[in-house]
Structure 1
Amino acid sequence: MSPNMELAKPRDFGEIISDTFTFIKQNFKPLLKYFFIFCGLFLIFTSASMILIQIKALNFYDNSLDPNAFDESTVFSRAFSMLGGVLVYAVFMVLQYVALNVTVLCFMTLYRQKQNTLPTTEEMWGYIKYYYLKILGSNVLLYILLIIGFMFCLVPGVYLSPIFALVTPIMIAENTSFGYAFNQSFKLIRDNWWSTFGVFVVVYIILYVINLVISLPSTILGAGNFFLHFTKNSQALSLPIAIITTLLQSISFFFQILMSVTVGIVYFSLTEIKEGTGLMERINQFGTNESTPGPEPEEY
Structure 2
Amino acid sequence: MNTQKIQFQQIRDFGQVFNAGFAFMRGHFFRIFRYLLSIGGPFLLVGVGVTALLMIRMQSWSTSVNTGGGVLPFAWTDFGITYLVNLLSFFVGFVMITAVINAYIKLYIESPEVTPNIQLGDVWSQVRKDFFRLAGQLLLVSVFVFGVNILFFVSVGAIGESTISAGAVLLVFFIGFGLFIFLMPYLGGVLTPQIYFGQTNFFKNISRTFSLVQDNWWMTLGLGFVNTIIMSTVFFICFFPFYLIMMISIVSQISSNPGQTPDFSSMTVVIVSMIVFMTLGYMATFIIHNVMAAVHYFNLEERKGGGGLLAKIQSIGSGENSLKSSIDFYDEEEKY
TM-score, with normalisation over the residues of structure 1? 0.84
The aligned residue for residue 125 of structure 1 is 124
The aligned residue for residue 26 of structure 2 is 25
Equivalent of 2:98, from 98, 101, 104? 101
Question: 1:109: how far off?
Answer: 1.2
Q: Distance in 2 between matches of 1:184 and 1:45?
A: 35
2:179 is aligned with what amino acid? Answer: P
1:288 aligns with 2:287: no
- Closer, same or farther in 2 for the Cα pair 1:88/1:221, shift >3 Å? farther
Equivalent of 1:272, from 267, 277, 302? 302
1:266 is aligned with what amino acid? Answer: H
TM-score, with normalisation over the residues of structure 2? 0.76
Q: Distance in 1 between matches of 2:181 and 2:84?
A: 25
1:251 is aligned with what amino acid? Answer: L
Map 1:123-272 onto structure 2 (within 5 A).
123-150=122-149, 151=152, 153-164=176-187, 165-224=189-248, 226=250, 237-255=266-284, 256-272=286-302
Question: 1:224: how far off?
Answer: 4.5
Q: Distance in 2 between matches of 1:153 and 1:190?
A: 20
CA contact (8 A) 1:57 1:82 kept: no
Q: Distance in 2 between matches of 1:207 and 1:168?
A: 17
Q: Distance in 2 between matches of 1:141 and 1:236?
A: 38
User: C-alpha deviations, 1:127-167, integer Å up to 9, x for none?
Assistant: 21111111111112112223344526133333223223423
Q: Distance in 1 between matches of 2:29 and 2:63?
A: 44
Identity %: 19
1:173 is aligned with what amino acid? Answer: F
Map 1:107-118 onto structure 2 (within 5 A).
107-115=104-112, 117-118=116-117
Q: Distance in 2 between matches of 1:285 and 1:143?
A: 40
1:5 is aligned with what amino acid? Answer: I
- Closer, same or farther in 2 for the Cα pair 1:176/1:56, shift >3 Å? same
User: C-alpha deviations, 1:77-98, integer Å up to 9, x for none?
Assistant: 5666555544433332222222
Question: 1:225: how far off?
Answer: 5.1
- Closer, same or farther in 2 for the Cα pair 1:74/1:53, shift >3 Å? closer
Question: 1:280: how far off?
Answer: 0.8
Question: Structure 1: which 5+ runs fail to align?
Answer: 292-300
1:29 is aligned with what amino acid? Answer: F
Name the Cα RMSD after superposition.
Answer: 2.8
Question: 1:258: how far off?
Answer: 0.6
Q: Structure with the greater relative contact order (CA < 8 A, sep ≥ 6): 1 or 2?
A: 2
CA contact (8 A) 2:29 2:287 kept: no
Q: Distance in 1 between matches of 2:177 and 2:146?
A: 9
1:91 is aligned with what amino acid? Answer: L
CA contact (8 A) 1:20 1:261 kept: yes
- Closer, same or farther in 2 for the Cα pair 1:155/1:188, shift >3 Å? same
1:247 is aligned with what amino acid? Answer: V
Q: Distance in 2 between matches of 1:149 and 1:193?
A: 21
CA contact (8 A) 2:137 2:195 kept: no
- Closer, same or farther in 2 for the Cα pair 1:89/1:225, shift >3 Å? farther
1:74 aligns with 2:97: no
Q: Distance in 1 between matches of 2:266 and 2:124?
A: 40
1:141 is aligned with what amino acid? Answer: L
- How many pairs are equivalent? 287
Question: 1:114: how far off?
Answer: 1.0
Q: Distance in 1 between matches of 2:47 and 2:265?
A: 23
Moved more, 116-125 or 208-217: 116-125
- Closer, same or farther in 2 for the Cα pair 1:252/1:29, shift >3 Å? closer
Q: Distance in 2 between matches of 1:7 and 1:290?
A: 16
- Please state whether the residue corresponding to 2:60 is helix, strand or coil: helix
- Closer, same or farther in 2 for the Cα pair 1:242/1:80, shift >3 Å? farther
Question: 1:216: how far off?
Answer: 1.8
Question: 1:277: how far off?
Answer: 0.8
Report the structure number with the largest CA radius of gyration.
Answer: 2
